[in-house]
Chain A
């Protein structure tokens, strides 16, 4: 019998939490991030005001999504671009597969895009014989390792330099001229330059879709996003429908916010706006511009008014870094495209509550994620709502149902409550050391079971 997702999650969580080297690497990365974010926030006169404004803009956009999507589409078309609406992953993949076949595309370079991870684009392209190269340094490394990104913003947070050296020496030996961080970055630059300048198509995501100008906004530090969208003759954008914002002017708030909560920078090095293919008067740039708007469960989440605001997410990764569970079990343990608190909330909506409801419990409910979220998503409460929904929609295990029924039975009457207390004490005395309780007692001592109940003591001490 194969392990269920939930069992597999618990197994990996235990392994990762016990792996001290892994925890050290991740702690270093997140501590460095925390220090940078503190500096970044101090550059705002009123950071909370910025969060509030981001919340209000996203609320406005998501609650008038049809209007802004249509406005965005009309403006892209005006610029000579194409817009394709994909209901699910398969439609999104097929569009680009057909386009690539029609245009004779052999090589593709990709900027970082979580949506293309969500729809498993790379395997589909490779199956069609197309060479796909991730060009963000972190994404490039995980692609060479044949593993998914560990984090939304920092894909190789879990790796040490030694592991990257080993990987590069095996995969791109001719480009590696040394072992320092600088030399490793230079090696990737050399290898990826060849990819950029021989690619027929560049694929990117979008941090924002801007309705009033028909532009997409991409933020990147390395410049790979710029090269992917400047050099190849075709540019294809994948974006979830929830990415649209009303006005270009909104970026005066979102750009510094995303930079601050994403990496602690004041602004990301390249805050880029692209609208359409190159204009007739321009000297370079792609000849074709395609935007694929992906639903893939988002409109269903939109219908859930209680959790609609989950669509406000700008994928900055702050809630991952803030989460004590993420810090200890790491990004891969979740086995989802979007890990951490936002992933635990979102994944049951995108891929089914029955199979992913266990993630609702991958939280201490401390609420730190809520306080760091730049668009004020109430993540911990949405986890609780998912727990509730799971009980209503997915039949809980018989032990839980039996236990809850007994508990309710005993709570309904004082006599039953007394009886349950006596039975409970006897059971604890008899089986307190039992193997079934090991997950709890392994790291904690069971306190001695008291001789008398509270009510007995109350009576003896002469009350009443």
Chain B
């Protein structure tokens, strides 16, 4: 710490005022009987696909490892020339070897993704059927930048990673919270509606979010 000395600022003063204020209790509304906030999710895979589509995501189902390889090859073939950034895991090393086709690959073990990366490839911590979201983390999924820097983010996953709803997905986030400096629930592509409320896909983050999901 190069600052003169690490300062807590007005900590005691503020906490003192807060404690003084809380000596007088505030009224509380009476509880009202409540049921579940969301209807239970039945068919996880089918629901995930439906929700992901409304979030402008691309979901590619593959029945086995060969299908995953084929799906990734197809996505990479649709990109312009240039480097891709891949999370460094044995599974993705193998996949990249099978699909990169001479394209330069930078690995997450080498640092942060380059600004000019054409696409990024990572695993995920889970999928949320209720909302069509992807749960990612910095430690488990190749860092922070991997899910936001490139115009295309490709997630490789399998049906066993499906969570039915937010309660279960957030519970998973809680389990891994102290092992990561970043945990995120990504629901579709980067977007904006700031100008005249018109929805534009692809603001600062990816325009494409591709989920390659192995069903078996």
Q: Which positions in A face B, CB cutoff 8 Å?
A: 25, 28-29, 32-33, 43-46, 48-50, 52-53, 55-56, 59, 62-66, 69-70, 79, 82-87, 91, 95, 98-99, 102-103, 135-138, 141, 154-156, 159-161, 164, 181-182, 184-185, 188-189, 192-193, 196-197, 212-213, 215, 221-224, 226-227, 229-231, 241, 247-249, 251-253, 255-256, 263, 265-279, 281-285, 289, 293, 295, 299-300, 302-303, 305, 308-309, 376
| Contact of B187 (CB < 8 Å), options: A136, A271, A275 | A271
Are A230 and B144 interface neighbours, CB within 8 A?
yes
Closest to A29 in B: B197
Q: Which positions in B face A, CB cutoff 8 Å?
A: 1-4, 6-11, 13-15, 17-22, 24-29, 31-32, 34-39, 51, 55, 108-113, 115, 131, 133, 138-139, 142-149, 165-167, 169-171, 173-174, 177-178, 180-198, 200, 202-206
| Contact of A256 (CB < 8 Å), options: B144, B166, B193 | B166
Given contacts A229-B144, A248-B170, contact A281 B131 (CB under 8 A): no
| Contact of A182 (CB < 8 Å), options: B146, B182, B200 | B200
Write 21 A-B pairs (CB below 8 A) sorted by A numbering: A52-B31, A59-B28, A63-B25, A63-B26, A66-B18, A85-B15, A87-B13, A181-B195, A185-B203, A188-B203, A193-B204, A222-B203, A223-B205, A227-B149, A268-B187, A271-B186, A272-B182, A274-B181, A283-B108, A284-B138, A293-B14
Given A275-B178, A295-B10, 5 further pairs, Cβ under 8 A: A29-B196, A45-B36, A85-B14, A248-B173, A284-B146
Bound-complex Cα distance A136 to B167 (A): 29
Bound-complex Cα distance A33 to B197 (A): 8
Bound-complex Cα distance A267 to B166 (A): 10
Bound-complex Cα distance A152 to B21 (A): 28
Interface centre among B25, B173, B183, B196 (most CB of A within 10 A): B196
Bound-complex Cα distance A137 to B199 (A): 13
A-B contact count (CB 8 A): 303
Are B133 and A181 interface neighbours, CB within 8 A?
no
Residues of chain A lying within 8 A (CB to CB) of residue B198: 181
Residues of chain A lying within 8 A (CB to CB) of residue B146: 284
Residues of chain A lying within 8 A (CB to CB) of residue B193: 221, 263
Are B181 and A276 interface neighbours, CB within 8 A?
yes
Are A302 and B194 interface neighbours, CB within 8 A?
no
Closest to A65 in B: B18
Residues of chain A lying within 8 A (CB to CB) of residue B4: 98
Residues of chain B lying within 8 A (CB to CB) of residue A309: 26
Given contacts A45-B38, A224-B203, A267-B133, contact A64 B22 (CB under 8 A): yes
| Contact of B8 (CB < 8 Å), options: A79, A84, A161, A279 | A84
Interface centre among B3, B22, B174, B181 (most CB of A within 10 A): B181
Are B181 and A55 interface neighbours, CB within 8 A?
no
Residues of chain B lying within 8 A (CB to CB) of residue A161: 195-196
| Contact of A50 (CB < 8 Å), options: B13, B14, B37, B55 | B37
A299 CB to nearest B CB, Å: 4
Are B111 and A284 interface neighbours, CB within 8 A?
yes
| Contact of A223 (CB < 8 Å), options: B26, B131, B204 | B204
Are B183 and A49 interface neighbours, CB within 8 A?
no
Are B26 and A305 interface neighbours, CB within 8 A?
yes
B50 CB to nearest A CB, Å: 12
Residues of chain A lying within 8 A (CB to CB) of residue B186: 269-271
| Contact of A156 (CB < 8 Å), options: B115, B143, B195, B203 | B195
Residues of chain A lying within 8 A (CB to CB) of residue B191: 221-222, 269
Are B15 and A69 interface neighbours, CB within 8 A?
yes
Bound-complex Cα distance A69 to B10 (A): 13
Are A46 and B10 interface neighbours, CB within 8 A?
no
Are B203 and A223 interface neighbours, CB within 8 A?
yes
Are B37 and A53 interface neighbours, CB within 8 A?
yes
Residues of chain B lying within 8 A (CB to CB) of residue A182: 200
Are A227 and B148 interface neighbours, CB within 8 A?
yes
A410 CB to nearest B CB, Å: 37
Are A299 and B203 interface neighbours, CB within 8 A?
no
Bound-complex Cα distance A247 to B167 (A): 12
Bound-complex Cα distance A401 to B10 (A): 42
Bound-complex Cα distance A276 to B187 (A): 23
Closest to B40 in A: A45
B14 CB to nearest A CB, Å: 5
Are A189 and B10 interface neighbours, CB within 8 A?
no
